[in-house]
Amino acid sequence: MILPLAELHIHLEGSLEPETIFALASKNGIDLPYESVEELRAHYEFNNLQSFLDLFYANMAVLRTSEDFKEITTAYLNRAHASGVRHVELFFDPQAHIERGLSLSEVISGIRAGLEEAEQRWGVTHKLIACFWRHAPAASAMEILKMIVTENHAIDGIGLDSSELGFPPELFEEVFSYAREHGLHVVAHAGEEGPADYIRQALDVLKVERVDHGIRCMDDPELVARLVKEQMPLTVCPLSNVRLRAVETLADHPLPQMLEAGLKVSLHSDDPAYFGGYLDANISAVAEQFSLTVSDLATLARNSFEGSFLDEAARKSRL
């Protein structure tokens, strides 16, 4: 049975498969420090979030043209559509690409071309979310955000990602306030590796509409009660949490307790090319591990649409 799903936590650059990294490196004349796809893949063993990010940022250097962005967006959407995705809210890291000399327009127009083609071909709807790096100064995020707003780039919202520990959400108060004032949606990674208090800051200081990961809320019963009361969407990525050692094993993942508590959880793939699979693989893994019922799976699927930025009518037509 394939349930219709909304994918709300997917980093475009995290869908860059090793084979595509080699193909783009060859096309763009870039020397990779690996002889083969197998040698690259052998590095996909991570101790924590940072050990993954180091490789993730190095690999995305093969993206050099607008066409490259279109190609990887199309490849991701092909794969996602096959696993039941009917709506996607796609993250990308503008700072990474601007740093390499691409313009915001080149990046966004390539991604948008891929998104629009998939909507025409399969009816997969989309939103595009620019994620700012929390390891970089807030001033860098603000500079790009102002460019997005003043040059009217086709962006639906902003997010906050990258290294979490030591970079609390409150550092980005002004950035998020500016984004909200200009009608952009706001989400943030919080409580992936970082403490429950970072989730509280994301709610109180950044005033996010959705929390990415959020699993560490389970350390703080008062926060759980609040998240349940507010029915705050939490975009949980089980295979990512295992591969980045946010949990020891899948059996230790707090998903069953989160569902039991009444949290508004949905399942997502984060960086599927790095963590062992796309949305369908994440769902199969937890369904098997925790013997989820059809009713649990239907709740997770419904939560994915209810947590999305689709309006009410569009949400109903997608389900």
Q: Which of residues 285-304 bind ligand ADE (CB under 6 A)?
A: none
Q: Interface with ligand ADE includes 14 (CB under 6 A)? A: yes
Q: Which does 162 bind (CB under 5 to 8 A by kind): ligand ADE, Zn ion, none?
A: ligand ADE
| Closest CB 92 distance from ligand ADE, rounded Å | 10
Binding mask 143-172 for ligand ADE (x = CB under 6 A): ------------------xx----------
Here's the x/- map for ligand ADE, 59-98, by CB under 6 A: it reads as: ----------------------------------------
DSSP line for 237-287: -HHHHHHTTSSSSGGG-SHHHHHHHT-EEEE--BSHHHHT--HHHHHHHHH
Burial of 287 (C-beta count, 10 Å sphere; 0-12/13-18/19+): middle
Residue 183 DSSP code:
T
Among 270, 275, 279, 305, binds Zn ion (CB under 5 A): 270
User: Was 271 annotated as part of a binding site?
Assistant: yes
* Closest CB to Zn ion: residue number: 270
Q: Is 253 annotated as a binding residue?
A: no
Nearer of residues 95 and 162 to ligand ADE, judged by Cβ: 162
Question: Look-up: residue for tokens 């998939």?
Answer: 118
Determine if residue 270 is labeled as part of a ligand binding site: yes
Q: In what order do the strands lie in the sheet with 125-133?
A: 5-11, 85-92, 125-133, 157-161, 185-190, 210-213, 233-236, 264-267
Minimum gap (Å) between residue 241 Cβ and ligand ADE: 9
The DSSP H or E segment spanning 24 is helix 18-27
Please tell me whether 126 is known to bind a ligand: no
3-state secondary structure of 177: helix
Q: Does 240 bind ligand ADE (CB under 6 A)?
A: yes
User: Phi and psi dihedrals of 190, rounded to 5?
Assistant: -160, 140
- Pick from 71, 89, 106, 271 the residue near ligand ADE by CB under 6 A: 271
Q: Count of residues binding ligand ADE (CB under 6 A)?
A: 11
Interatomic CA distance for residues 42 and 140, integer angstroms: 34
List the end-to-end C-alpha distance of the chain, in Å, as a whole number.
14
Q: Which of residues 186-225 bind ligand ADE (CB under 6 A)?
A: 189, 192
- Of 14 and 114, the one with the shorter C-beta distance to ligand ADE is 14
Kindly list the catalytic residues.
192
Residue identified by tokens 């990415």 is 212
31 is in an annotated binding site: no
Residues 6+ apart with CB under 8 A from 260: none
User: Binding site for substrate, residues?
Assistant: 271
Contacts with ligand ADE by CB under 6 A lie at 11, 14, 49, 56, 161-162, 189, 192, 240, 270-271
User: Binding site, residues?
Assistant: 9, 11, 189, 270-271
